[in-house]
Structure 1
Amino acid sequence: MRCIRTAILVFCVLFTTNLFSQTDEEIFKNIYKSSLTNGKSYDWLNYLSNQIGSRLSGSLGAERAVAFTKQELEKLGLDNVWLQPVMVPKWVRGAKEYAYIKSAKGTTTVNICALGGSVATPPLGLKSAVVEVHDFQELKALGKEKVEGKIVFYNRPMQPDVIQTFEAYGGCVNQRYEGALQAAKYGAVGVIVRSMNLRLDDLPHTGSMTYENLPVDKRIPSAAISTNDAELLSTMLKLDPSIEFFFRQNCKQLKDVLSYNVIGEITGNEFPNEYMIVGGHLDSWDLGDGSHDDGAGVVQSMEVLRLLKEIGIKPKRSIRVVLFMNEENGLRGGNKYAEEAKQKGENHVFALESDAGGFTPRGFSFDCTDAAFNQVLSWQHLFKPYLIHFFEKGGSGADVGPLKTNTNVLAGLRPDSQRYFDHHHASNDTFDAVNKRELELGAATMTALVYLFDKYGVNTMVNRLKN
């Protein structure tokens, strides 16, 4: 028995010594090899997407996703796994929406979906003349005289010549989010919004919208229309401005319900009170199964902690995976996590979010000081063999954003985004649209960045400049 104990001790010493003697390049190779040959992210996503499905806040799917991910994190043998309670909105879509365009030649059915948070139409639907605008300035120019009693059709497309597709999305998403609020000021009875999608297809894309403090009796129904049908509606209006649009939707906003952020932690062995987090949002919209948005980010974040344990890396700092609830229509989970972290005086030195789909990773964006960013750039050569070249200062992620301080580093994984908005918030955001290898490369890339920040800290360059 003594010989066995001695042998085990010798093995542990040799294993630890070998791990510490490895170069960063060698650690990277181990991370990518483990993810690509023995990864769990794709299997997790398969279950999350195909066995649970859509996970809109407050839904049964969201509840089952909380239970599943907590169970899987517990299987990893982390130091701690727990649920963080958070109250979330509960909006339900109801029966499938229906719409058509009525002209002198008859009716043409079109594809729409209610926007998240919208009120319903009257039970028998809503039919009215249509006015087309491209922005709020055009709406204001038309004024109440030309808008009152009509349906406002927002038809500003995503700009196709903008290479960074999230920039193109940002250039037109305000019409979806604020469209009903602005149109209601001029007496409109409903809103139809062109889907946020770069390609022409028949799929309407949902997403959140707001009424802010608009009185309930002044709120008007708002729906997205597919890009093909937006083109059709625009063409028909040019030919005959007197055409009418009919739509019916049955959505409803219910009382807030209790849900949870799911959190797992590996406690740091040198600086346990310095926290690094990696995460994605567990909720999704209800039209597809949320595989890209944000099932991919959820399973990649879980995989980071699994890979660290599999490779045998004992982090200096405490590393948490946080699966946030309610990013899509409220950001309650991200705000709750940051609120409790502040109350407890927790020092979050680094936070990484994956919420841009499961496509091939290209790099990261960083919200940090110039000194910290220079430190990141000094690591760029380590990622180059894996074709990860995109490093820029900019945004991070909606859920980690509330953790921002003057000294910490927030980051966002940036996959190739050219096809992301083909699926974003639509019924084709499904498991079959995710490539296994691309998903696993993203998980490995996140793990590699977490490893570097844990090993070297976030203020290495700052301290170097001071000295």
Structure 2
Amino acid sequence: GGITAPVLVVASFDELTRRASEVPGKIVLFNVPFTSYGETVRYRSSGAIEAARHGAVASLIRSVASSSINSPHTGAMRYDTTVRQIPAAALSVEDAAMLGRMQARGEEVVVTLKMEARTLADAQSRNVVAELRGTERPEEIVVVGGHIDSWDVGTGAMDDAGGSVAAWEAVRLLKQLGLRPRRTIRVVLWTNEENGLRGATGYRDAHAAELDNHVLAMESDNGVFKPSGYYMAGGAAALAVTREIASLLSGIGATSATEGGPEADVSPLAERGIPAAALNVDGSRYFWYHHSDGDTKDKLSPRDLNECIAAMAVMVYVAADMPERFPRAAAADSVRRRVPR
């Protein structure tokens, strides 16, 4: 079984269009070097659509990874109902580059593609929610969390077990220290971030009546590497407060405050005008492991994780205990996710 066909290697959607007459009956390989996740992930998410539009029988991509040790990186892709739904898969960076070199030498490359992936019926999953109840304004809520689902390669240590643990431990630390803020701090560990975001949208919908009382939402979903400060999506006033909070972290060198975000699971809340914070971490190695067999616990540094916990604890405690509510923009700013999935 499977598909056996010649391979056409291209380096961009533009090259695919220029060589459209060569595409019919071929497997298209997008051999696109990593520049940034937001730029390069387009070939994973839409490559099959564009290849099918020109008559390809399958679509392959060079893994969306900033480094590789011969390990494919997976992730979400999509189809368009107006074109044929063709098989799509990711190759390791090394294999994609090799096929590109072979084509450049004038060799005909023929590949047999046999895939066993299938889409199963939806199964029920649940968010995990815990609270440190506020002492004076318990109805006002600061949300902090990560997502508890991961892809089926590796164990999701960085994406996003580390972020989930950091959020949980930040609130556990506050409780252990006997710190009881004015407002409620709610830990939410979201499900189904990777291929649907239904945990995040389900939380928003289930708590629709409370959204006006959501003061801040914070998430860590870029790995728990060495933190340098915070990202904030929520307007100039929110960013100014974030700078003040970041100044408390001089001891660990995490004093930056930058406009950016929101991350995926807090984006449904940010779209309703709720300020959204995220850790700014040294993500230089994040896409080495992202969505691959390499995303395992040994990549976590206990010191870096502890500093991420401290940074999250400081942000959510101050937001929950400051006399005034965390400022919202006068009108909801346009929301753009900083890191598409």
Superposed pair shares fold, TM > 0.5: yes
- What's the CA shift for 1:211? 0.8
- What's the CA shift for 1:346? 5.3
Q: 2:39 aligns with which of 166, 171, 186?
A: 171
Give the corresponding residue for 2:337: none
Q: 1:136 aligns with which of 13, 17, 39?
A: 13
Q: Secondary structure at the match of 2:283?
A: coil
Preserved CA contact (<8 Å) 1:375 1:461: no
Structure 1 pair 137/298, CA: closer, same or farther in 2 (3 Å)?
same
- Counterpart check, 1:333 vs 2:210: no
The superposition leaves residues 52-88 of structure 1 with CA deviations (integer Å, 9 ceiling, x where unpaired) of xxxxxxxxxxxxxxxxxxxxxxxxxxxxxxxxxxxxx
Structure number with larger C-alpha Rg? 1
- Counterpart check, 1:155 vs 2:37: no
- Counterpart check, 1:193 vs 2:69: no
Q: Which structure has greater helix proportion?
A: 1
Distance 2:315 2:290 in 1: 26
Preserved CA contact (<8 Å) 2:235 2:328: no
The superposition leaves residues 156-187 of structure 1 with CA deviations (integer Å, 9 ceiling, x where unpaired) of 1112xxxxxxxx11111000011111211111
Q: 1:231 aligns with which of 90, 97, 110?
A: 97
Give the corresponding residue for 1:315: 181
Give the corresponding residue for 1:146: 22
Give the corresponding residue for 1:126: 3
Q: Gaps (5+ residues) in structure 1?
A: 1-123, 160-167
Preserved CA contact (<8 Å) 2:248 2:255: no
Structure 1 letter corresponding to 2:178: G
Preserved CA contact (<8 Å) 2:319 2:326: no
The superposition leaves residues 409-460 of structure 1 with CA deviations (integer Å, 9 ceiling, x where unpaired) of 1011122111111100000111111111111111111001111111224446
The superposition leaves residues 22-71 of structure 1 with CA deviations (integer Å, 9 ceiling, x where unpaired) of xxxxxxxxxxxxxxxxxxxxxxxxxxxxxxxxxxxxxxxxxxxxxxxxxx
Q: 1:277 aligns with which of 129, 143, 152?
A: 143
Structure 1 pair 429/236, CA: closer, same or farther in 2 (3 Å)?
same
Structure 2 letter corresponding to 1:233: L
Q: Secondary structure at the match of 1:391?
A: strand
Give the corresponding residue for 2:333: none
Give the corresponding residue for 1:264: 130
The superposition leaves residues 184-224 of structure 1 with CA deviations (integer Å, 9 ceiling, x where unpaired) of 11111111101111124201100110014357xx2111111
The superposition leaves residues 132-173 of structure 1 with CA deviations (integer Å, 9 ceiling, x where unpaired) of 222222222222x321111111111112xxxxxxxx111110
Q: RMSD of aligned C-alpha atoms?
A: 1.9
Distance 2:271 2:158 in 1: 29
Q: Secondary structure at the match of 1:384?
A: helix
The superposition leaves residues 363-404 of structure 1 with CA deviations (integer Å, 9 ceiling, x where unpaired) of 111101101211221233211221103310010210010002
Preserved CA contact (<8 Å) 1:354 1:412: yes
- What's the CA shift for 1:254? 1.6
Alignment of 1:97-112 (within 5 A): none
- Counterpart check, 1:357 vs 2:223: yes
- TM-score normalized with structure 1 length: 0.68
Q: Which has the higher contact order (CA 8 A, sep 6+)?
A: 1
Give the corresponding residue for 2:106: 240
Q: 1:208 aligns with which of 60, 76, 99?
A: 76
Alignment of 1:3-18 (within 5 A): none
Preserved CA contact (<8 Å) 1:211 1:219: yes
Distance 1:126 1:142 in 2: 22
Q: Gaps (5+ residues) in structure 2?
A: 331-341
Structure 1 letter corresponding to 2:6: A
Q: Secondary structure at the match of 1:255?
A: coil
Give the corresponding residue for 2:49: 181
Give the corresponding residue for 1:432: 298
Q: Secondary structure at the match of 1:223?
A: strand
Distance 1:230 1:288 in 2: 21
- TM-score normalized with structure 2 length: 0.92
Structure 1 pair 400/459, CA: closer, same or farther in 2 (3 Å)?
closer
Alignment of 1:73-112 (within 5 A): none
Distance 1:340 1:358 in 2: 29
Distance 1:313 1:320 in 2: 14
